[in-house]
């Protein structure tokens, strides 16, 4: 059983496309994954709160996410994607709609990487709102990105354990760089995406061990999420209940689970 107030800090809503069309520039077209289905999943899993992360298939049109947040009655928050020329009024409207962060992609299959100058301009606009940045990158990009990320004066959350290769061991350069980055207290990391970094397949225990190391090392700056509905997974589509079961490996102690699922997301998204 999950602790009261548990939060799925990384999931998505897609469409329905008839109401919230996908971006013309998208690199993939998901099937509809509407808020009603997500709400039902969370009830089934015993998850009370959530953070919706804007995915690239919707681009900077955050309406589907905002619609879901509004329907959740304060139990959901959001991480948006915005253009460089976003206005203060636009950002204030997003904030009032429950958004608390902005996401930047550096993953090859999702399109061109975020422009660094644009990131600086956007960050300068969101800092007064108390937002954070979420960065999603291919593991090999961290070496070049880390010096830049350290120049940004706001909290930053790394998606999916930095998309490391779970077969490469804890001494692989990408994981060592992630650990080094996490020594800076501005950085947080999501210990989810086990199905993405695993190389052995279900039940993804090879990946969960990395999550366990991150929880042990940085207990107050870790988050977890289902990543529902798991976009771009071509094989070994995970069962969300099985991903919850991985928490027995990732955060085996009650205090760790409480921090991971309740205390940490509360501090970042509801304070």
Active site residues: 227
Give the residue from 154, 104, 152, 156 showing the smallest Cα distance to 128: 154
The Cα–Cα gap between 201 and 238 comes to 9
Alpha helices in the chain (DSSP H): 35-45, 63-71, 88-96, 116-126, 142-149, 173-182, 194-197, 205-217, 240-245, 247-250, 254-258, 264-265
Asked whether 14 and 33 are in contact (CB, 8 A), the reply is: yes
Distance CA 132, CA 187 (A): 10
Give the count of beta carbons closer than 10 Å to the beta carbon of residue 102.
24
Q: Which residue has the tokens 């976003």?
A: 86
Cα–Cα distance measured from residue 130 to residue 134, given in angstroms and rounded to the nearest whole number:
13
Q: 174: burial class by Cβ within 10 Å (0-12, 13-18, 19+)?
A: buried
Give the contacts of 151 (CB within 8 A, at least 6 positions apart): none
Stated as kind and residue range, the H or E segment containing 220 is none
What CA dihedral angle connects 2, 7, 12 and 17, to 10 degrees?
90
Backbone dihedral angles phi then psi of residue 187, each to the nearest 5 degrees: -100, 140
């Amino acid at each position: 059983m999950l602790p009261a107030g548990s939060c799925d800090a990384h999931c998505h809503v897609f469409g329905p496309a008839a109401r919230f069309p996908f971006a013309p520039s998208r690199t993939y077209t998901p099937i509809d994954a509407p808020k009603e289905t997500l709400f039902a999943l969370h009830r089934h899993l015993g998850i009370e709160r959530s953070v919706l992360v804007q995915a690239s298939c919707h681009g900077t049109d955050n309406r589907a996410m905002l619609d879901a947040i509004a329907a959740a009655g304060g139990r959901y928050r959001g991480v948006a994607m915005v253009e460089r020329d976003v206005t203060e009024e636009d950002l204030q409207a997003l904030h009032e709609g429950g958004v608390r962060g902005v996401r930047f992609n550096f993953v090859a299959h999702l399109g061109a990487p975020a422009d660094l100058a644009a990131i600086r301009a956007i960050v300068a606009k969101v800092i007064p709102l108390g937002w954070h940045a979420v960065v999603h990158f291919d593991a090999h990009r961290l070496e070049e990105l880390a010096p830049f990320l350290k120049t940004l004066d706001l909290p930053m959350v790394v998606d999916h354990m930095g998309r490391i290769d779970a077969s490469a061991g804890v001494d692989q350069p990408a994981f060592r760089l992630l650990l080094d980055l996490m020594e800076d207290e501005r950085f947080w990391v999501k210990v989810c995406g086990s199905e993405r970094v695993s190389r052995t397949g279900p039940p993804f225990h090879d990946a969960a061990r990395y999550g366990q190391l991150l929880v042990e090392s940085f207990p107050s700056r870790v988050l977890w999420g289902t990543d529902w509905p798991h976009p771009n997974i071509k094989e070994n589509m995970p069962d969300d209940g099985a991903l919850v079961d991985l928490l027995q490996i990732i955060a085996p102690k009650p205090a760790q689970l409480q921090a991971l699922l309740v205390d940490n997301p509360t501090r970042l998204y509801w304070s």
